[in-house]
Amino acid sequence: MLQIECPWCGPRDQSEFSCGGEAHISRPLEPDALDDIEWADYLFFRKNPCGRHYEQWCHIFGCRRWFNAIRDTVTYKFIAYYEMGANPPELD
Amino acid sequence: MTQMLRTPDAGHVKRTRPISFTFNKRQYWGFEGDTLASALIANNVRVIRRSFKFHRPRGIVGAWSEEPNAIVEIGANNTRVPNLRATQIELYQGLVAHSVTPSKWLRFDTLAISNVFSGLLPAGFYYKTFMWPKSFWHRYEKRIRRLAGLGYAPSGQDIDTYDKMHYFCDVLVVGGGPSGLIAALTVARSGGRVLLVDDQSEIGGSLLSKTETISGKLAKYWLKDVITELRSYPDVRLLKRATATGYYDHNFVVINERLTDHLEHHNERLRRERLWRVRAKEVILATGAIERPIVFCSNDIPGVMLASAIRIYLLRYGVLAGSKVAFFTNNDSVYHTALSLVESGGEVVGIVDIRKNPKSTIVERARSTGIPIYDDHVVVAARGGFNGLKKVQLARANSQGDLILTNKGELKCDTLGVSGGWNPVVHLHAQSGGRPEYDQSAGMFVPGKSVQSERSVGAAKGHIALRECFVDGVEAGKSAALGADLKLGQIPDIPFTIAESSEALKPMWEVPPSQLNLHNDKSFVDLQNDTTASDLRLAVREGYTAIEHVKRYTALGFGTDQGKLGNINGAGIVAKYLGVDISELGTTRFRPNYTPVTFGAISGRSIGGYLFDPVRKSPIHEWHVMAGAAFENVGQWKRPWYYPRDSETMDDSVKRECLAVRGGVGALDASTLGKIEIRGPDASTLLNRLYTNSWSKLPVGRCRYGLMLGEDGMVMDDGVTARIGDNHYLMTTTTGGAGPVLTWMERWLQTEWPDLKVYLTSVTDQWAVVSLAGPDSRRLMANLYPDLDFSEEVFPFMSVVSASYVGVPSRIFRISFSGELGYEINVPANYGYSLWSTIMKFGESLNITPYGTETMHILRAEKGYIIVGQDTDGSVTPHDLGMDWIVSKNKDFIGKRSLFREDMKRDNRKQFVGLETDDPLLILPEGAQLTNEQNRSIPVDMVGHVTSSYMSVELNRSIALALVKGGIKRHGGKVYAHLIDGRIVPATIRSPNFYDPKNKRQEA
Amino acid sequence: MTNNNIYIQSSLAEFVVPREALGIDGSCGVEMQEITEKVQFNLRCDMSMLARSSNHAEPFFGSIAELSSNRFSVHADYECYWLGPDERLLVARRDKSNLITQACSRLHLLHHALTDLSDAQTIIQLSGEEAQTILMHGSMFDFHQQSFTTEMCAQTLLAGVPTLISCHTDTKLGLLFYRLYIRRSYADYLSLWLIDAASEVGFRIVLNES
């Protein structure tokens, strides 16, 4: 069971959250201008890093806010949290 | 009452409380405080069972969870517990146990014939032999299971209950031995929340069987003082009989607490086990170390056991392991045990020490009492008969320990305590992500670098000496307290312990072969699975170089003991054969659970009956119950399925309900559907972006059916949304879609469109909804709301009005899912029950009929209305459903772009159609596969499946809805449904709108 | 039709179970009671803008806007619970319901949503020496008084049911007690679960005067 820190509610158990997958994917402003390959990339293709993963989480059984987190996919450690819409923090 | 091997007064057992128990149908006596194993040893029961593969007689080897041999079963039928270790069963009055063994006869085992032919049963035997023909494996497996003699699972309902506990603490201490206790004390004095768990029935760990004094007094006094002080802190919790069984992410540890297995009588008020799910800021692992045996010929003969077990049986349980005890060792620890044995009146016939002339203080003391010491000797073989060990054969080896130089006679004994060193219990450390490292000088795997906030102390770290344990514990306590942001309190003093000079151990995994070895001799590495050293050699010869492969090929470490005694020796032996260092080879991966956990504990209270999963009920629920409704589960909700009257079958009820709705008026409880309030100046914008159709021009007071797609263009949910005000909509969703749709909408608003000014609030539970349907529904409504104008001009189809019934605010929708004239009355939920009762009373003269979800399904199916999730499966687009009319061409919406993907334009996509079977009485099973041809030669092309299927009383024939490739252009064509019983049923494709295709009735 | 035909029911009014059972040691560790006669409103709006609408004469909006996360405030006629950065639960006695609706009607210039949830949510009060223990059986949330105490609230899962839990002090007994706000549809289930969880420590259901 992971422990995840909601920016509003503090550290809570994983069971209160829902994972939204990769973060920082914006919906294309003009979908019609994309061809099928580009559209499929937006729809389906996701990064699969060994290490830092930038992802979205929702505190679905808490305050229901969405936020971002940087999590290491090897150690499952959460490296940083930041609010939805904010830029990811600089890491060394 | 003869317990021939019980000492007069040693140990902690309560000699004033004798207990009688039964083992393999014979009665014996023990004492309160015994384990089944200690009581059996006291009664000189040497042979417990026969081994799985070779059916060789086996006796007790250890004293706790490392025990590989003494596998027994207690209880019967639904209280049967198979495959327990006798060493961990606390004795209680009337205990009945038997060995888990293949043969009925312990003395003479016809199956021991496999022992004679054991040369033909090497490692990998099963894997190599029973592979052909593949179809025969099931027959082989049954036989193998019976031959192996594994226990049987219990039958019938478990009479016990289990539950869970969720716990947080500053520091979790695993292990209540000296280092764990002093660490816990350090943290407790710093004001921390401490949870200390120990898997034994008494806290104390190694202190329970130590003769060393602490600060000049017996260990038990120090123990008592520490426990008393710990119990005085309100935020310190001590759990006995509690095993930390798994270490997971972020310092989440699962602990299995056993509460009643040691009690004589079943008490249904007590939970049998409790699973603690613990989140600790810091963890201290004081899990101790398990003694490691040495591998030699016939080391499995009953009587050969761990030297530390002999000590525990003597000092804790007051039992002599045998009458003539010998020891085989490479380190100092057995000497303490030998001296204690002699002090208690036992006979020690000799200590075989592979080291040359060890000079430790304890060795000198043993020598001075006259115990024969055979230093620079090894035991090459154990010899005995059915009743166990009779003698051991000695020899001298070279200094590297890999060659026998000369044979040196024999030593007559009935018990041999073996000690090859210690293996720190690194399991939890490894589970936490750490990687154990091999300490060359100490000859053991010790914890490596910590990945999570944990540290090991005492023997778990490789520090066997008592003083080191105390020092470790205090340091760990301090670092854990600081790690948990506590202010250090009074640090406990390191108690005074006598230091003696000691000599290091000389590592030896396996005694090299000698001339005395017989052709059929076996050296066992894993006693439970009969894995021998030659099996490991064979694996290496056959090309296995990774320890994980060797494990699986030879079954090393597979058993209920999980290789606690065999894995490290096995790794050492394999490394030797491979010519690599053991540190290179490593160990197999450590996984939860440390010892077996019952499924009951894992389930807790979430089992059958009413606590399995949350249940949601409509405000009108009790009325349905009293009316005798049958219920079905829709997600977590209970919905009335049908209302049987008198002795009606389901078919009878449903027929009656359908006729009543289409012919008169029926009432359905629709409270469970999702309802979401949408408010703000951008409400229309949000709906336009999420639904496929347009909303801006919907007049206030009107409703519209909306279809919601995923970004991939597939239908996700549907529902009717009403415009209550300029900037105010009420959206409805399917019952199961309420939560997901709200989450979906919030996600878009928060992550993509934070500039939109619109708020969403769920009101599913706020409103009770009564749905009236049928040609008489308007008359009924007019009686209820006499002041309301129900004329077509004022209250048209798909509109909503607010009204009040005797001061109760209502929202009334004129919508229909049944295809009949219909209204849905929404009232605040607290009025729901009384509204329904009132409607039932008012409707008596109209013969109003309550109807359930089955009827609802049939009525809408007759109209060809989809149910998302039944007729769609996440791969169906609006076009597939024949709903191009609902897809706006003038705006972007979620999923729109996907509708123009190449794949979406295929003609042979599965499309929504109706089906009529040739036989009007035959109801197709939902899910039936459809083909275009009747012949069945494989491979058959599947062109679709049946999604919904019912008997329509209105049309007096069966109807079905289905998804069929290219179905929209195939009306009139034929398909064939394939049933499980082999029948092939022809059906004609048609429009899914079977009844009143011009919708005259609902728009009346 | 007359008024007599309409009556209000609480969601647990028909709850039929043994009303009490003693614990293994003969004591009663937990008391459960349904809190009725309350109105509940969900308010969503931009809280920083709401704060600006507050003034001396009308501290109402300020008290709502400035609430810290996962806390609630108690006032003479109402309580305000934090549900999210832009969301509050307002609870008042039934006879004071106008207070909230009237105050919010003055917000017409500020984009907001006030939703009556008085019928949607059931309030269960859990008190007694073992109340905290019961909660620990059903939720991976830290209820220890060091981290969850008076005037704190939290939304979490309890026995699989999404719940708002608030912590209050009983000044007479000096004990903490809790209130659980759940969707009414879960009320039966959660009550059965609470009773089962209390089987070892003993429970009593306190009935309201009808």
Residue B135 has pLDDT above 70, yes or no: no
Per-residue 3-state assignment (H helix, E strand, C coil) for B403-436: CEEEEEEEEECCEEEEECCEEECCHHHHHCCCCC
Domain identity same for C139 and C172 = yes
pLDDT for the residue numbered C2: 33
pLDDT for the residue numbered B503: 83
**Residue C46: inside a domain, yes or no?**
yes
Instruction: Name the packing angle between helices B533-541 and B567-578 (round to 10°).
Output: 40
User: Are the CB atoms for A1 and B592 separated by under 8 Å?
Assistant: no
Alpha helices, DSSP H, located in B277-360: 307-315, 333-343
pLDDT for the residue numbered B481: 97
- Residues from chain A that touch C87, judged by Cβ atoms under 8 A, are 63
How far apart CA B374 and CA B209 sit, in angstroms, is 26
The answer to whether the CB atoms of C183 and B765 lie below 8 A apart is yes
pLDDT category at B1004 given cuts 50, 70, 90 is confident
Residue B722 has pLDDT above 90, yes or no: yes
- Whether A83 has its CB under 8 Å from any CB of chain C: the answer is no
Chain B residues in contact with chain A using a Cβ-Cβ cutoff of 8 Å: 248-252, 277, 279, 433, 451, 711-712, 743, 746-747, 750-752, 754, 892, 896-898, 901-902
pLDDT tens digits, one per residue of B368-390: 999 999 999 999 999 998 779 99
Residue C5 has pLDDT above 50, yes or no: no
- Whether A18 has its CB under 8 Å from any CB of chain C: the answer is no
How far apart CA B414 and CA B405 sit, in angstroms, is 26
Higher pLDDT among residues C53 and B659, named by residue = B659
How far apart CA B558 and CA B550 sit, in angstroms, is 11
Residue B60 has pLDDT above 90, yes or no: yes
At B150, list the tokens: 């594994």
- Whether A63 has its CB under 8 Å from any CB of chain C: the answer is yes
pLDDT tens digits, one per residue of A50-61: 999 999 999 999
pLDDT tens digits, one per residue of B974-990: 999 999 998 999 999 99
CATH code of the domain covering residue A71? 3.30.2270.10
**Residue C4: inside a domain, yes or no?**
no
Q: What average pLDDT score do residues B477-503 get?
A: 92
Nearest CB neighbour to C84, from listed A16, A61, A64 = A64
The answer to whether the CB atoms of A20 and B747 lie below 8 A apart is yes
How far apart CA B196 and CA B503 sit, in angstroms, is 33
The answer to whether the CB atoms of A61 and C157 lie below 8 A apart is yes
Residue B113 has pLDDT above 70, yes or no: no
Q: Give the closest-approach CA distance of C140 to chain B in angstroms.
A: 5
The answer to whether the CB atoms of B250 and A20 lie below 8 A apart is no
pLDDT category at A70 given cuts 50, 70, 90 is very high
Identify the sign of the CA torsion A38, B895, B763, C104: positive
**Residue A58: inside a domain, yes or no?**
yes
Question: CA separation (Å) from B547 to B295, B425, B432, B529?
Answer: 18, 19, 21, 17
- Whether B193 has its CB under 8 Å from any CB of chain C: the answer is yes
Q: Which of C95, C116, C137 finishes a domain?
A: C116
Residue C1 has pLDDT above 50, yes or no: no
**Residue A14: inside a domain, yes or no?**
no
Q: Which of C82, C116, C150 finishes a domain?
A: C116
How far apart CA B904 and CA B888 sit, in angstroms, is 17
**Residue A60: inside a domain, yes or no?**
yes
Residue B111 has pLDDT above 80, yes or no: no
**Residue C22: inside a domain, yes or no?**
yes
DSSP 8-state assignment for residue B168: E
Domain identity same for C112 and C155 = no
> b/e for B547-563, b at 16 or more Cβ within 10 A?
beebbbbbbbbbbbbbb
pLDDT category at B3 given cuts 50, 70, 90 is confident
Q: Which of B49-58, B449-458, B821-830, C117-126 has the lowest mean pLDDT?
A: B49-58
Question: CA separation (Å) from B199 to B39, B175, B237?
Answer: 20, 7, 14
To test the contact with chain B by mutation, choose from C3, C6, C116, C191 the residue with the greatest count of B C-beta atoms within 10 A, namely C6
Task: Report the domain count for chain C.
Answer: 2
ipTM: 0.98
A&C contacts, CB < 8 Å? 34
pLDDT category at C139 given cuts 50, 70, 90 is very high
The per-type count for chain B, helices as H runs and strands as E runs, is: 23, 49
The answer to whether the CB atoms of A16 and C157 lie below 8 A apart is yes
To test the contact with chain B by mutation, choose from C24, C101, C109, C119 the residue with the greatest count of B C-beta atoms within 10 A, namely C119
**Residue A20: inside a domain, yes or no?**
no
DSSP 8-state assignment for residue B35: B
Chain A residues in contact with chain B using a Cβ-Cβ cutoff of 8 Å: 1-3, 13, 18, 20, 26-27, 31-32, 34, 36, 39-40, 43, 56, 58, 60, 64-66, 75-76, 84-85
**Residue C3: inside a domain, yes or no?**
no
pLDDT for the residue numbered C9: 57
Domain identity same for C155 and C171 = yes
How far apart CA C181 and CA C162 sit, in angstroms, is 9
pLDDT category at A7 given cuts 50, 70, 90 is very high
Q: What average pLDDT score do residues B720-724 get?
A: 96
Residue B814 has pLDDT above 60, yes or no: yes
pLDDT for the residue numbered C210: 43
The per-type count for chain C, helices as H runs and strands as E runs, is: 5, 12
Q: Which of B30, B86, B11 is nearest to B317 (CA)?
A: B11
pLDDT tens digits, one per residue of B764-782: 999 999 999 999 999 999 9
Q: What average pLDDT score do residues B590-611 get?
A: 91
**Residue A77: inside a domain, yes or no?**
yes
| Domains of chain B as residue ranges with CATH | 1-157 (3.10.20.440), 162-289+424-483 (3.50.50.60), 293-420+503-520 (3.50.50.60), 523-585 (1.10.10.1100), 669-765 (3.30.70.1400), 766-851 (3.30.1360.120), 904-990 (2.40.30.110)
Residue B571 has pLDDT above 50, yes or no: yes
Give this prediction's pTM: 0.93
pLDDT for the residue numbered B131: 57
How far apart CA B525 and CA B778 sit, in angstroms, is 84
Residue B123 has pLDDT above 70, yes or no: no
How far apart CA B797 and CA B560 sit, in angstroms, is 69
H helix or E strand, kind and range, residue B575: helix B567-578
Q: What average pLDDT score do residues B570-591 get?
A: 94
**Residue A78: inside a domain, yes or no?**
yes
Domain identity same for C91 and C152 = no
Question: Where do we find the tokens 């995994």?
Answer: B509
Domain identity same for C141 and C197 = yes
pLDDT for the residue numbered B513: 82
How far apart CA B948 and CA B928 sit, in angstroms, is 10
Q: Which of B759-763, C77-81, C99-103 has the lowest mean pLDDT?
A: C99-103
To test the contact with chain A by mutation, choose from C69, C158, C183 the residue with the greatest count of A C-beta atoms within 10 A, namely C69
pLDDT for the residue numbered C60: 86
**Residue A91: inside a domain, yes or no?**
no
The answer to whether the CB atoms of C144 and B613 lie below 8 A apart is no
What is the domain extent for residue C178? 12-36+119-206
Q: How many residues does chain B have?
A: 1004
How far apart CA B706 and CA B351 sit, in angstroms, is 87
Look over chain B and give the mean of its residue pLDDT values, rounded to a whole number: 92
- Residues whose CB falls within 8 Å of the CB of residue B449, separated by 6 or more in sequence, listed in order: B434, B435
- Residues whose CB falls within 8 Å of the CB of residue B402, separated by 6 or more in sequence, listed in order: B512
At C177, list the tokens: 């007690």
pLDDT tens digits, one per residue of B393-421: 999 988 888 888 888 889 999 999 999 99
pLDDT tens digits, one per residue of B622-653: 999 999 999 999 999 999 999 999 999 999 99
Q: Which of C116, C132, C150 finishes a domain?
A: C116
Question: Where do we find the tokens 């064979």?
Answer: B538
DSSP 8-state assignment for residue B563: T
Task: Report the domain count for chain A.
Answer: 1
What is the domain extent for residue A78? 50-85
To test the contact with chain A by mutation, choose from B747, B761, B899 the residue with the greatest count of A C-beta atoms within 10 A, namely B747
- Residues whose CB falls within 8 Å of the CB of residue B297, separated by 6 or more in sequence, listed in order: B380, B381, B382, B511, B513, B516, B517, B518, B521, B522, B523
pLDDT tens digits, one per residue of C110-119: 999 999 999 9
- Residues from chain C that touch B485, judged by Cβ atoms under 8 A, are none
Domain identity same for C147 and C186 = yes
Secondary structure class of B733 (helix, strand, coil): strand
The answer to whether the CB atoms of C112 and B618 lie below 8 A apart is no
The answer to whether the CB atoms of C200 and B614 lie below 8 A apart is no
- Whether C5 has its CB under 8 Å from any CB of chain B: the answer is yes
- Residues whose CB falls within 8 Å of the CB of residue B580, separated by 6 or more in sequence, listed in order: none
How far apart CA B6 and CA B386 sit, in angstroms, is 23
Nearest CB neighbour to C156, from listed A8, A61, A64 = A61
CATH code of the domain covering residue C174? 3.30.1360.120
**Residue C128: inside a domain, yes or no?**
yes
pLDDT category at B104 given cuts 50, 70, 90 is low
Domain identity same for C126 and C171 = yes
Q: What average pLDDT score do residues C174-190 get?
A: 95
- Residues from chain B that touch C44, judged by Cβ atoms under 8 A, are 759, 761
**Residue A39: inside a domain, yes or no?**
no
Residue B193 has pLDDT above 90, yes or no: yes
